[in-house]
């Protein structure tokens, strides 16, 4: 398992389940500060043909985080036959507004808002 965390957020990648779970608030200062998380996501795409991003407990994401996820989704889109599932929550307002943009980047992505 790979775990990246600080006082405000936690990212956990479970290769056995092909799941990356995000919790907390992500407000890092630009794409360079998101690099360890982006590298973890790239590794997850490389290691499997399917991946689930669980964002249900990610309460806040700034625009640099949106850019990081967009970059990741485009990377996943470019891998043939890759199955990506993004699970969000109806009770986290930013997710109901912004997660659909990722699906627009990768129409084959499955977006579930629980």
Partner 1 sequence: MSERYGCFNEIDPNNYCEHMCLSFKPSSVPIKQRWRNNGLSADFLGDYLTTFFPKDNEQPDSAKKQAIVRDAATYIANELLENAMKYCDENGNIPNSIDLTLLPDQLIFTEINGISAGQKTEFKAFIKELESSDPDELFMKRLEASAESDSASGLGYLTMINDYQAELGWQFDDINDACKVTTQVVIKI
Q: What does each C-alpha distance from 64 to 38, 49, 83, 94 come to in angstroms? A: 11, 26, 24, 14
Q: Which two tokens stand for residue 13?
A: 């990648």
Pick the binder of partner 1 from 4, 19, 67, 85 (CB under 8 A): 67
Q: How far apart are CA 36 and CA 109, in angstroms?
A: 23
With contacts defined by CB under 8 A, name the span among 13-21, 44-52, 70-78, 81-89 that binds partner 1: 70-78
Give the strand pairing for 50-61 and 83-88.
parallel
Pick the binder of partner 1 from 17, 25, 50, 114 (CB under 8 A): 25
Give the shortest CB-97-to-partner 1 separation in angstroms.
Answer: 4
Pick the binder of partner 1 from 2, 19, 40, 105 (CB under 8 A): 105
């Amino acid at each position: 398992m790979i775990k990246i965390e600080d006082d405000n957020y936690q990212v956990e990648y479970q290769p056995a389940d092909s799941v990356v779970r995000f919790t907390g608030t992500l407000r890092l200062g630009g794409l360079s500060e998101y690099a360890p998380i982006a590298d973890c996501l790239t590794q997850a795409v490389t290691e499997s043909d399917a991946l689930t991003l669980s964002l249900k407990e990610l309460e806040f994401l700034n625009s640099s985080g949106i850019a990081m996820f967009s970059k990741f989704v485009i990377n996943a889109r470019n891998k043939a036959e890759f199955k990506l599932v993004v699970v969000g929550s109806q009770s986290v307002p930013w997710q109901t507004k912004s997660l659909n943009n990722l699906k627009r980047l990768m129409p084959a992505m499955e977006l579930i808002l629980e």
